[in-house]
Amino acid sequence: MSEAILQSWSDSFVELSDNEIIERTLNGEPEAFNLLIRRWERQIYNLAFRMLGKEEDAHDICQETFFSAYRHLSKFRGDAKFSSWIYRIALNCCHTHLRSRSGTNLSLEQQYEDLGYEPTTTVESINETMQRGQVAGLVKKALMGLPPDMREVIIMKEYQDMKFHEIADVLGIPISTVKTRLYTGLNQMKQRLGYLKAAL
């Protein structure tokens, strides 16, 4: 019975926009915030997982993000998009986390150059000859080796399917900078994937 009530309560919120839910939360219905969590937790988790590469870290970031958002909810500007705000909080948490474990930037390119490997393999051949699971492993390694500012742009574009202007909004940078970072990031990914495949 109570579940049915909860369900109907939840259903009444489904049609509400993010901003309306925030308004309700601030006006004395803190449980309404759960709906915002449900709506955005998967995207935030995916973003954090791909930024940090570890499931438990992603989970922590996810909690930290929503905790921060909840605590600073009154600071949220109604004219902005909640998605941009929550992504920005999540990315800030990720960067803080990355700074705390400094030295984990792999700089694979340099390492494999030092070892004498040649990126003779093209990315096209990786997709053709390797199994999906193997490619996923290579991609994860290559992505983790990218500088965070390129990694986040690639993640938002490739996995979160965000438009350039949305990414620029989240990061607070010009659209042209987003495109340049993406271009450089993709180039680096191409090279890293080639090196990693050659090193197998």
Binding to another protein in span 160-189, by CB under 8 A: 163-164, 171-173, 176, 179-184, 186-187, 189
**Spatial separation of the C-alpha atoms in residues 66 and 60, rounded to whole Å:** 10
> How many residues of this chain bind another protein (CB under 8 A)?
85
Contact 199, 112 (CB under 8 A): yes
| Interaction between residue 159 and another protein (CB under 8 A) | yes
19/68 with CB nearer another protein: 68
Q: Which residue in the set 19, 54, 95, 199 belongs to the binding site for another protein (CB under 8 A)?
A: 95
User: CB of 60: closest distance to another protein in angstroms?
Assistant: 9
User: CB of 1: closest distance to another protein in angstroms?
Assistant: 21
Residues in 5-64 at the binding interface with another protein, rule: CB under 8 A: 25-28, 30-31, 33-34, 37, 41-42, 44-46, 49-50, 55, 58-59, 62-63
Query: Quick one: how many helices (H) and strands (E) in the chain?
Result: 11, 0
Structure tokens at 20: 């309306």
Binding flags for another protein, 107-146, as an x/- string (CB under 8 A):
x-x--------xx--xxx-xx----x--xx-xxx--x---
Q: What is the DSSP string of 131-196?
A: -HHHHHHHHHHHHHTS-HHHHHHHIIIIIS---HHHHHHHHTS-HHHHHHHHHHHHHHHHHHHHHH
The burial of 192, by beta-carbon neighbours within 10 Å (0-12 exposed, 13-18 middle, 19 or more buried), is given as: buried
9/67 with CB nearer another protein: 67
Q: Which residue in the set 75, 100, 103, 116 belongs to the binding site for another protein (CB under 8 A)?
A: 75
Structure tokens at 90: 């999540």
